[in-house]
Structure 1
Amino acid sequence: MRPLGKKAKSTAPSSPATTGIDVLPDGVLKHILGFLPSPEAVRMCVLARRWRHLRRHATGLRVSCLAGGKAGRDGSPSPKRIRDFVDRILLLRGHAPLETFELRFCTFDEDGDGDDASCLSRWLRHVVECKVRTLRLENVWVDGFELEDRPLVSRRLTRLELEGLDLKNGFCDFSGCPSLQYLVIESCEMRDADKVSSESLKHWRMTSCILSKDSSTVIHARSLVSLRLDGHLYRAPVLEIMPSFQEAFVRVIHENLDSGYSDDYSGACDDEDCYSCYGAVDGNYKCVLLEGLSEAENLALISESKAGLKQCPTFSRLKTLLLNDRWCVAPAFPALTCILKHSPVLEKLTLHLFSKGHGHKMEMIGRYNPTDKTAAIPEHLKEVQVKCEVVDEKVHKVEDPPIYSPREASFTMELRGEK
């Protein structure tokens, strides 16, 4: 009991109660810091000593190395300052586990001595030692920025995104990344890549990449489930056996920049300069692109020139097929007829006719009527969907190819209005 006349000492805390974002546990704050660009994350550290500790253990690093002039005269940081900044933040965090590392750069070589590549390689080795799971490298300016010609080795890496880089043959060997499942390659040069290999890869997107003129790049990815090949230049890649393969989107542009040929999917192409399709499969020269896609269940083929297909492989598992108007050349429809005759279990055919992008305003759907047998229509083809901007004379010409006919009683066409 305290003496009479004396007040009890206050038990209230001497510092104000923690409020706002500070009440969150360390694990949540580390995750939040991982989504901030690195300069902003550094600025957060002036709030308190706790934040400095959290920054060193943030789950992600997002660095943008968009330097200005040699001395940063335009107000942006100089290449040397950026390089020192990245070196500093990597040094401070040590080898703390890292979920995501994103690097967007133009140059960090101030004196032009070619130190960019060695600097980038040093950073890559560091984040790999941090057991990074998602890695993105984007070159936004330097033309022909080469990565080291040796394999990337990481047991933890699950997603890799590369943009604007020159990929050599050694780097494209991903056998040292046994957990890699997602690969995104955009606007990269792969002229020297003879083979891309991964036993674990499941999803691959390759957009606007330059491949070899002389030989087809071999793709070894036995676990691949989906592929998006959008606008490659020069020879099409050869896809090796993929037992788990399910779906693919392939858009072929005018590949042969030297000779002017653009015979996109010509399975009977006799011209060795036709880069888009010509190549050896099992000792025979044929359309290597379609051969590699023949095990797909869902397939979209977009061509920017008339597809002159004369022969093609059998698509024994193909259930849904999407083609654009370049496959539907009247009056004989050779390419369309060829691929449909070699699709014995096809159930749904979708045609995108004379539309730009996804701007389809009209849609016609034809469904199979089993009560009326017509030899021209295979029984397995249950639905034909036609999407277009407007139903005009060009569309009417494509409505009536010999393999299916909406005017036959076996197919009932339903016209829908604007989407």
Structure 2
Amino acid sequence: MRPAKRGKGEAPPDSADGPTIESLPDGLLQHILGFLDARQAVRTCVLARRWRHLWQSATSLRVWEAKLAKIRAFMEHLLLLRTGSPLHTFELWFDAFRDGDGPRVNFWVRFALLCKAQVLKLGSSFPVQTGFQLDDLPLVSQHLRVLVLAGVVLKNRTCDFLSCQSLEQLDIVKCLLPCVRKISSKTLKFLSIINCRFNQDQKTHFSDSPMGLQTAVLVLTLGTVVMTTVTLATVLKMTIGACSVLLEGLSEAENLSLIAESKTFVFKRDLKQCPTFSNLKTLLLNDYWCVAPDFHELNCILKHSPVLERLTVHLFSTGPKHKLRIRGSWNPAEISAAISDHLKIVEVKCEVIDNGVVKLLKFISTFNICFNIDEVEILQQ
């Protein structure tokens, strides 16, 4: 008896030896193809008749190429043959480009948005001073949720994300923002700006309407930045270079990390009118905020954090360079009204216990926290 004809998109029956990749439905295979480089996905068309057109509806389109000149014709044919099939992810990474590549890449980006892409990642490893330039036009999408831009030059209107009505996550890494006055969004929850360059003669505002941010990572290298959003709900981590961020904009954070790299820049103006961190429960500071003999910056922040529960201090070391951890805990025998009576846990991470570390421990001890130097934890040899 002739076998029943298989319907469109229906997987072939399992073999006698059990399920095979051929037994998977078309939709799942198109999802799997989306994890491959686009050229590898296209090459699967030679595997069998069933695979001839599967790549045209792959749910993601990823292209990694050193030189854009090598993929111009490929991308134009690829986008034409996809005929507007919906995309979940569009990802394009490249090392080098020519002046004529700009209009093409901008077209590819707009095409991906027309295909309802939910995740868009565009990156160049070119030096940020001469990076690839996106058109100075707002991105428009009702579907885009995640946008990652790396090594790209952004103009003012490009950073107006009000037309991206579903955008929740924005990552801008090693980008040049020479004339950006405002980064605007009403839906953004996760903001990351790392090692970017701003115009040092112009202030950049992060939206003049609440963004409802849950997480913000700001690692800035040049320029003046003003945080006007005061609705940070979860984490705000900042590395301060030649920039100024108003502490008032951080006052609603629950978990706050202040990591300053510059040894000359201080929040003196902000600290004179230090806001109350009414929701702050977890605080991370580096040695920049813990300067002997009076520890003014640390003292000021602690006194304005009425519900602080946990304090972590990184002294003269970062990340994997930490060698020692000194734990402190609340001393029930004494009561200090100077700072939060919720503060129960203090951690100090450092490379070595020197005079500076001892001075800091003595200062924190005045706030009803006890340290046991004999129980120092060794983090690495």
Normalization by structure 2: what TM-score? 0.87
Among 379, 382, 388, the residue aligned to 2:350: 388
Aligned to 1:227: 216
**Displacement after TM superposition at 1:291 (Å):** 2.1
Residue 378 of structure 2 corresponds to which residue in structure 1? 418
Deviation for aligned residue 1:411: 2.5
Shift of 1:376: 5.0
Trace 1:292-331 onto structure 2 (pairs within 5 A).
292-306=249-263, 308-310=266-268, 311=271, 312-331=274-293
- Between the aligned partners of 2:336 and 2:303, the Cα distance in structure 1 is 15
Question: What's the counterpart of residue 237 of structure 2?
Answer: 249
Tell me the CA shift for residue 80 of structure 1.
4.3
Alignment partner of 1:164 is 2:124: no
The code of the aligned residue for 1:106 comes to: D
| Cα gap change, 1:373 to 1:22, in 2 (>3 Å) | same
User: Quick one: which amino acid aligns to residue 308 of structure 2?
Assistant: L
Distance 2:69 2:38 in 1: 17
Residue 352 of structure 2 is aligned to residue 367 of structure 1: no
Residue 144 of structure 1 deviates from its aligned partner by 2.8
**Are the aligned partners of 2:119 and 2:145 in contact in 1 as well (CA < 8 Å)?**
yes
Give, in whole Å, the separation in 2 of the partners of 1:384 and 1:52: 61
Give the Å deviation of 1:52: 2.4
2:176 equivalent to 1:193: no
| Alignment match, 1:138 | 123
Aligned to 2:7: none
1:299-349, Cα deviation, whole Å (9 max, x unpaired) = 001112346444232222211110011211111111111221222222211
8 A contact 2:124–2:131 mirrored in 1? no
Structure 1 pair 375/223, CA: closer, same or farther in 2 (3 Å)?
A: closer
Matched residue SS, 2:176: coil
AA at the equivalent of 1:331: P
Aligned AA for 1:139? S
Structure 2: how far apart are the matches of 1:309 and 1:115? Answer: 45
Using the alignment, how far apart are the partners of 1:139 and 1:378 within structure 2? 47
Distance 1:224 1:299 in 2: 13
The one-letter amino acid paired with 1:411 is I
Structure-1-length-normalised TM-score: 0.80
Task: Compute the displacement of 1:118 (Å).
Answer: 1.0
Residues 1:226 and 1:17: Cα distance change in structure 2 (over 3 Å)? closer
Give the C-alpha shift of residue 417 in structure 1.
2.0
* Structure holding more helix per residue: 2
Q: 1:289 aligns with which of 246, 251, 263?
A: 246
Q: Secondary structure at the match of 2:237?
A: strand
Q: CA deviation at 1:141?
A: 2.4
- Aligned residue for 2:179, secondary structure, equals coil
Pairwise CA distance, 1:107: 4.2
Inter-partner Cα distance in structure 2 for 1:381 and 1:144? 46
- Match for residue 280 of structure 1? none
Distance 1:405-1:309 versus aligned 2 partners, 3 A rule: farther
Question: Structure 2: where are the runs of 5+ without partners?
Answer: 5-11
Q: Which residue of 1 aligns with 2:104?
A: 119
Deviation at 1:108, TM superposition (A): 5.1
- Distance of 2:29 and 2:370 partners within structure 1: 59
Q: Distance in 1 between matches of 2:297 and 2:238?
A: 16
**Conserved in 1, the CA contact under 8 Å of 2:35 and 2:62?**
yes
Which residue of the partner structure matches residue 35 of structure 1?
A: 35
Letter in 1 for 2:365: S
- The reply on whether 1:180 has 2:167 as its aligned counterpart is yes
Q: Which shifted more, 310-319 or 206-215?
A: 310-319
* Residue in 2 that maps onto 1:285: none
**Secondary structure of 2:317 counterpart:** coil
Shift of 1:375: 4.7
**1:398 Cα deviation after fit:** 1.7
Secondary structure (helix, strand or coil) at the match of 2:178 reads coil
Are 1:55 and 2:87 counterparts? no
Q: What amino acid does structure 2 have at the position aligned with 1:176?
A: S
Deviation string 1:265-318 (CA, Å, 9 cap, x unpaired) is xxxxxxxxxxx22xxxxxxxxxx4322112111100111234644423222221
Aligned residue type for 1:63: V
* Partner of residue 9, structure 2: none
**Which amino acid in 1 is paired with 2:41?**
A
Partners of 2:341 and 2:220 lie apart in 1 by 34
Query: What are the superposed Cα offsets for residues 360-397 of structure 1, whole Å, 9 maximum, x if unpaired?
Result: 23222222223422455542322221112222323112
Displaced runs of 4 or more, over 4 A:
10-13, 15-19, 375-378
CA distance in 1, matches of 2:213, 2:340: 30
Give the number of aligned pairs.
Answer: 358
Alpha-carbon distance in 1 for matches of 2:63, 2:75: 8
Structure 1 runs not aligned, ≥5 long:
1-9, 68-78, 256-275, 278-287
State the percentage of identical aligned residues. Answer: 46
Change (3 A) 1:309 1:243: closer
Distance 1:183 1:16, change over 3 A: closer
Q: State yes or no: 1:96 paired with 2:85.
A: yes
Question: CA separation of 1:193/1:11 partners in 2, compared to 1, >3 Å: closer, same or farther?
Answer: closer
Higher gyration radius (CA): 1
Residue in structure 1 matched with residue 205 of structure 2 by the alignment: 218
> How far does the alpha carbon of each residue in 1:71-124 deviate from its partner, in whole angstroms, 9 at most, with x for none?
xxxxxxxx5441000111111111111000000123454xxxx32221112111
- The AA in structure 2 aligned to 1:227 is A
